[in-house]
Amino acid sequence: MPSRTLPNGAPDPGPGVERRSLLRLGALLAAGGAAALVPAPIAHAATRGRGTDVVTTTYQGRAPYGNDQWAYVPFEVPAGVQRISVSTTHDASAGILDLGIFGPSGFRGWSGGERAGFTLSAADATPGYVPGPVEPGSWSVILGPMVGAADGMAWQVDVALHHGDPLPRTPYDILPASVAGRGPGWYRGDLHLHSVHSDGKRTVDEIVTAARQEGLHFIATSDHNTSSTGVTWRGNVPTDLLVVNAEEVTTRHGHWLAVGLPQGEWVDWRYGPADQGAFDGHARRVHSLGGLTIAAHPLTPAPGSFWEFGLDRVDALEVWNGPWTLDDAANIAAWHVMLCLGKRVAAVGNSDAHSPTDAVGRPHNVVYATSLSTPAVLDALRRGRSYAVESAAVTVDFTARGAGAVAGPGEELPLSFFDAVDVTLNVTGAPDSIATLHTEWGIMAATCIDGSGRGQLRWRGWGKASLFARAEVRRPKPASTTLDQLVALTNPVWFYSAQLPP
């Protein structure tokens, strides 16, 4: 990657730690650990040049062993400051130092362990940070040390306050809530994507280009713990692709997608299951804003990623995250148990693409919505009116018929006790695979799909003998950690008792 500079002329710290690398490190860290204490400034220097005063203050501290801790570096900003620049150093052999900042009005940016510094002003900001006026008052750099060394990790923070003439504010474009001329139909989209605003390597323009190449109709930009992605669209909002604003809320006790947030809205991540009602409160707020809550990669076996908040406020589970792995297989098994207990939580599949080598839209969701609009797409996803596929080459038609009615994924089919139900699965684009139909009783039917990629599976059931039916398509070919590969997965059709005539 070519070298870059920050707007203040300092070198950009460049790429940091990938999420999957962070999870591998997390496996070495113990949960818990008290918040690190922050000493008073130990150094102070002022320089003057080119009509601008720059005052730099240095802070030092030491974080103990553990990964569930936060340290705050408070500082005061006097009137006349137009830019804040922060740089950090730490003992990298001891762990990772997450980084962010809050101002008098609240959140102003987060880059996790991806950057060692940033700058922000009314005119511009490092990706992950929110451009806006530098308000006089109390500010705090926030650090999230993830420390694997038994004797802790030393860190240093340098805060530079730039005085000067006021800088012009940079406006951003409002993302359209719909794509014109697109009525009821099946639409393809990826809800979990990362840009340069967190630990991704693509710009939002590059994500849009990749989504178009995959044949997607909608995407959600879900960077870690920041709202900056949503307020940096300027002259590049696509007219042919629905862009949904989102955030991956990355707590130290599980990650979740807040999809459909208004631009500029931010969801906090500094809580755990022991903080009574904290997650529920944030989830209720997302719902009040019209958004969707999705537990992301819930069974990833590493501290910080494994889902610990329960499912009462979750609209969907991300059972398929990027390339198919054993974690995903476990997600689907756990989700199936929930269905058998009658809990209606939708399943989704997303790419979680970070780098250009991660394919956008593989996997993705195919959603039946009344229009290509944010409210319609989110409503369909919430109801499970969707299925997930490995790529745009795959199409699934899954229906159940009985008692004169027909239903698809996420819908209910009214049946009396003696009604027959006929379930049909038609698949295209899935050569050399096996289609299976599942109820709470297990696999009820299966068929092989030959090299043409086209296949059909039929099954006849008996009234209320089952709660639901769902379908899977798998390829009997080993993946990195499994003996097969998932090609497609549908949400269930639910069967319920029709009222009998008197």
Q: Taking phi first (over 0 means left), then psi (-120 to 50 degrees means alpha), and beta for anything else, what does residue 161 get? A: beta
Give residue 27's pLDDT.
32
Give residue 223's pLDDT.
98
Which residues fall within 8 angstroms of residue 225, CB to CB, at 6 or more apart?
100, 110, 112, 198, 247, 248, 249, 250, 269
| Residues 5-16, mean pLDDT to the nearest whole number | 34
Burial of residue 440 (CB within 10 Å: 0-12, 13-18, 19+) is middle
| Residues 463-478, mean pLDDT to the nearest whole number | 94
Give residue 104's pLDDT.
98
Look at residue 501 and tell me whether its pLDDT is greater than 80: no
Q: The tokens of 359 are what?
A: 């394919």
Give residue 38's pLDDT.
52
pLDDT digits (tens, 9 = 90+) for 316-352: 999 999 999 999 999 999 999 999 999 999 999 999 9
Cβ neighbour number for residue 498 with a 10 Å cutoff: 18
Give residue 76's pLDDT.
97
Give the span between the Cα atoms of 38 and 363, in whole angstroms.
44
pLDDT digits (tens, 9 = 90+) for 74-123: 999 999 999 999 999 999 999 999 999 999 999 999 999 999 999 999 99
Give the span between the Cα atoms of 415 and 390, in whole angstroms.
33
| Residues 361-381, mean pLDDT to the nearest whole number | 98
Strands 218-224 and 185-193, bridge-based pairing: parallel
Q: The tokens of 101 are what?
A: 């900042």
Classify each residue of 245-268 as buried b or exposed e, where b means 16 or more C-beta atoms within 10 Å of its C-beta: bbbbbbbbbbbbbbbbbeeebbbe
Give the span between the Cα atoms of 26 and 381, in whole angstroms.
31
Give the span between the Cα atoms of 397 and 392, in whole angstroms.
14
User: Using 50, 70 and 90 to split pLDDT, how confident is the model at 301?
Assistant: confident
Opening angle at CA 469, ends 466 and 471, nearest 5: 150
pLDDT digits (tens, 9 = 90+) for 131-152: 999 999 999 999 999 999 999 9
263 — phi, psi (to 5°)?
A: -60, 135
Q: How far apart are the first and last CA of the chain?
A: 74
Give the span between the Cα atoms of 470 and 490, in whole angstroms.
6
Contact, 12 vs 4, CB < 8 A? yes
Contact, 426 vs 453, CB < 8 A? no
Our CA dihedral for 367, 393, 244, 196, rounded to 10 degrees, sits at 150
Give residue 499's pLDDT.
55
pLDDT digits (tens, 9 = 90+) for 208-240: 999 999 999 999 999 999 999 999 999 999 999
User: Using 50, 70 and 90 to split pLDDT, how confident is the model at 41?
Assistant: low
